[in-house]
Amino acid sequence: MTLLSLLFLSGCEEYPVYSNFIEKQNQPKPTCIKIASFDPKLTTTLNQEFSSIIERNCTYSIVGYIHHVDSCSNPQVKSLGADFNGYVRLKLLEGNQTLYRIQSDFKDNELSALKRVIETMKKELF
């Protein structure tokens, strides 16, 4: 049953994950984080995935959002269409300074994109 669930979540989406460190040198590994998002779907998933290191007074925070292209008003995008519906973007901040960014596109499955982004972020940061 677990394998079936994984296949369902992964779907057919094969979008890459783009990430970068703003300054790679002497980048500390956060031992705690706080979540700063107004999207309940994003907040719930981040709280579940990072529950063991969430601290309310931590100096590091993960900020994120899910952008839907259909809300885009660019005439070129509307006329040509797009091979994706949106993207998930997360940033790691220390105070107000961005240390790291990561994002991935999605077609119909934003949860799958969110999982890709979180898994890559965990490998690269924690």
What's the pLDDT at 7?
35
User: What percent of the chain has pLDDT above 90?
Assistant: 56
**Is 4 within a domain?**
no
Residue tagged 């031992």 (tokens): 31
Residue tagged 């994706």 (tokens): 84
**Is 83 within a domain?**
yes
Q: What angle do CA 45, 77, 75 make, to 5 degrees?
A: 125
pLDDT band at 1 (very low <50, low <70, confident <90, very high): very low
Backbone angles phi, psi at 11, to 5 degrees: 55, -145
pTM of the model: 0.77
Contact predicate 35/121, CB 8 Å? no
**Is 33 within a domain?**
no
**Is 30 within a domain?**
no
Q: Which two tokens stand for residue 46?
A: 């981040």
Polymer length of the chain = 126
pLDDT band at 102 (very low <50, low <70, confident <90, very high): very high
> Once rounded to an integer, what is the mean pLDDT over residues 5-32?
69
Helix (H, G, I), strand (E, B) or coil at 67: strand
The more confidently predicted of residues 73 and 49 is 49
Q: What is the DSSP string of 36-53?
A: E-S-HHHHHHHHHHTGGG
> Once rounded to an integer, what is the mean pLDDT over residues 83-95?
91
The more confidently predicted of residues 92 and 5 is 92
The domain containing residue 59 runs over which residues? 38-125
Q: Which two tokens stand for residue 92?
A: 């790691």
**Is 9 within a domain?**
no
Contact predicate 60/34, CB 8 Å? yes
CA dist., res. 82 & res. 26, Å (int) = 39
pLDDT band at 81 (very low <50, low <70, confident <90, very high): low
The more confidently predicted of residues 17 and 7 is 17
Give the residues across from 101 on adjacent strands: 20, 91
Question: How many domains does one find in the chain?
Answer: 1
